[in-house]
Amino acid sequence: MYKILISTLLLTLAFSCVQTSVNAATNLRLNPNLDYSSDSNDGPLITGDNITDGMIQQGKPAHIIFYHHKCYNSKRQAKRTVELYEKYEGEVNFIIVDLDSEISNEQKELRDRFYRNYIPHVTIIGANGSVLYNRSGEIGADLLSSILDKALM
């Protein structure tokens, strides 16, 4: 009886570890129909696989972007995010929080913790969980690269 209970408990723990191993979006792609000159609603700015995952994985830096569809500043920041994803794929977790779409519970927790109602909003978390950057407004790819490079050291 106890052997069955312990086996079940170990399997449950193993399964929950497997479930949490997917922590970030992958295969990020920029919406090719974005109008960077207006606040037009062009739909989701970034698409990809596991787009609603939003868990921060200890031991790996994370880049989080919060945005709305109808913001030309968010569109430009989304473009930088996808460029950074292409540069740091596999080294940094990219978490996309599309505030105009249904978001996961993990994304809601990130929204409540970091987002301050101004878009675009970018947060960078270090591998040890420390907040390295957490601000609204556009930020250049060079500065973000500098922060991410330091986070990877």
Domain boundaries, the chain: 23-151
- The H or E element that residue 86 is part of is helix 72-88
Name the CATH topology of 23-151: Glutaredoxin (3.40.30)
| Most distant CA pair in the chain, distance | 67
pLDDT of res. 53: 81
**Banded model confidence at residue 135, pLDDT cuts 50, 70, 90:** very high
Tokens of 136: 């609204």
pLDDT of res. 35: 93
**Banded model confidence at residue 2, pLDDT cuts 50, 70, 90:** very low
Q: Is the pLDDT of residue 108 over 50?
A: yes
Distance of alpha carbon 124 from alpha carbon 130, whole angstroms:
9
pLDDT of res. 23: 67
Distance of alpha carbon 26 from alpha carbon 47, whole angstroms:
9
Q: Which residues pair with 23 in a beta bridge?
A: none
Distance of alpha carbon 15 from alpha carbon 26, whole angstroms:
21
Q: Is the pLDDT of residue 144 over 70?
A: yes
* Mean predicted lDDT score pLDDT of the chain: 86
Read off the pLDDT of residues 25-67 as tens digits, 9 standing for 90 and up: 899 999 999 999 899 999 999 999 988 887 778 889 999 999 9
78 touches 30 (CB < 8 A) = yes
Its pTM stands at 0.83
